[in-house]
Amino acid sequence: MTTVLQKEVSVIIIEDYKLTRMGLKSSLEEFEGISVVGESEDAEKGLILINRLKPDVVLMDLGLPGINGIEATNRAKQENPDVKIIILTSHERDEEVLAALGSGANAYCLKDIEPNALVNVIKEVAKGACWLDPVIAKVALKLFPKPENIRISSNQFSDGRSQLTERELEVLRLLVKGKSNTEIAKDLIVSVHTAKAHVCSILQKLCVDDRVQAAVKAVKENIV
């Protein structure tokens, strides 16, 4: 019986601190299925590497010298729409969270994430998933006003909560916590296919394009 080998996920690390960059590379290379194909201490060189090597995933720091991580993410996405970008940062300031949420990245992780968890995020993102660190969701909750504190006409937007089933609300709560489809399936004791179907239904009902937008909307509009 022939064994089908899964393609390794190619990764570029853009991080200005050499020790952090070396530590990330060393940690990632301990796991099967991950290949660090390039690294850079600044965004300008990093963008050149992305254009040349066409990686599956880029780990992007926010606080880079010269071009910052947000601008670099926007440029990388314009030049290479298929590349998946994970913002990996220690920054939790309000304005940086808002900028990160609008940068077009596929995932937002804090640097204290466990290596095995980061590897899981990389593999999921490489497959097309989005991921939002729970801490980012909590900061977003603080930033956005509660619905009862703002006056909005009932016909300005539909009530997201009323559109969702109880099961979909359960799934949405797990999305806000940064859970992948596999983790959602495990938590709810359903198949991955069923979890994915629930996520797709949620995205459609909330009129959003991806999991990150769904999580942000859930927090912003106090749906969960």
Is 172:161 a contact under the CB 8 Å cutoff?
A: no
What pLDDT shows up at residue 201?
86
pTM for the complete prediction? 0.65
DSSP class of 141: H
CATH topology match: 9-140 vs 145-150+157-220:
no
- The residue ranges of every structural domain in the chain are 9-140, 145-150+157-220
Task: State both tokens at 146.
Answer: 């509660």
As given in the structure block, the two tokens for residue 194 are 């069923």
Name the DSSP class of 178. T
Residue range 21-52, pLDDT digits in tens: 999 999 999 999 999 999 999 999 999 999 99
Instruction: Give me the pLDDT at residue 28, please.
Output: 95
pLDDT score for 197 = 87
Say what the pLDDT of residue 49 is: 96
Closest C-alpha to 176, from 124, 145, 215, 220: 215
Residue 64 CB contacts under 8 Å (≥ 6 apart), including other chains: 14, 15, 16, 42, 43, 72
* Residue reference for tokens 């530590």: 23
Q: Environment class of residue 142 by beta-carbon count within 10 Å: exposed (0-12), middle (13-18) or buried (19+)?
A: exposed
Q: What is the CATH number of domain 145-150+157-220?
A: 1.10.10.10
Note whether 184 and 69 are within 8 A (CB): no
The confidence score (pLDDT) of residue 161 equals 62
Full pLDDT tens readout for the chain, 224 residues: 444 456 899 999 999 999 999 999 999 999 999 999 999 999 999 999 999 999 999 999 988 888 888 889 989 988 998 999 999 887 666 566 666 666 778 888 888 888 999 999 999 899 888 787 877 766 666 655 544 443 433 333 345 566 888 898 999 888 877 778 888 889 999 888 888 888 888 888 888 877 777 877 787 777 87
CATH of span 9-140: 3.40.50.2300
Contacts 24+ apart (CB under 8 A), 178-187: 178/131, 178/132, 178/133, 178/134, 178/137, 178/215, 180/120, 180/121, 180/124, 180/129, 180/131, 181/124, 181/129, 182/124
Give residue 145's region: left, alpha or beta (phi > 0; psi -120 to 50): beta
